[in-house]
Amino acid sequence: MLIGIGADILQIERFRRSLARFGRGYLEEVFSEEELARSRVAANLTEASFYARAFCAKEACAKALGTGIDETVDWYDISVDQSTSPATITLSGGAITRLAALTPTGFQSVISLDLGSKNGLAQACVMISVVQTGQ
């Protein structure tokens, strides 16, 4: 059963300009030290496209949770790992609290992430579904 879906798209050039203007501090506003430490930009991606994809994934996940990024769900509450194939999302803090509130008793949540970049755009789509657990 589907309980949430979110999508986001971003011009990579816009993200690149912000990264050039504000440097690492810009990344630290959105990504945790753990995320930044494990980030390895693939040979086929620029740094801007790599982080723009992750940014879109966080936005899409927050939308799927029904909150967006706000006082209850923070940037750091949604962690994106592009080192795995497919990329994954891990929740903590307010995001995991929100997910628990959305998940009916007797069900387990599953987060599916699709992300990519092409033609100067980064995009991500997140679907949150639940499956019944054995009782």
Residues found in the chain: 135
Tokens matching residue 75: 């940037």
Task: Provide the pLDDT for residue 135.
Answer: 59
Domains and CATH numbers, the chain: 2-132 (3.90.470.20)
59 is in an annotated binding site: yes
Task: Say if residue 104 is preceded by a cis peptide, omega within 30 of 0.
Answer: no
pLDDT in tens, the chain (135 residues): 999 999 999 999 999 999 999 988 999 999 999 889 887 888 888 899 999 999 999 999 999 999 999 999 999 999 999 988 899 999 999 999 999 999 999 999 999 999 999 999 999 999 999 999 875
CB atoms within 10 A of CB 128: 22
Task: Provide the pLDDT for residue 94.
Answer: 97
At 111 the three-state DSSP class reads: strand
pTM: 0.93
From the list 52, 63, 36, 65, the residue with the least C-alpha distance to 117 is 52
74 is in an annotated binding site: no
- Sheet with 107-118: strands ordered across: 2-11, 121-132, 107-118
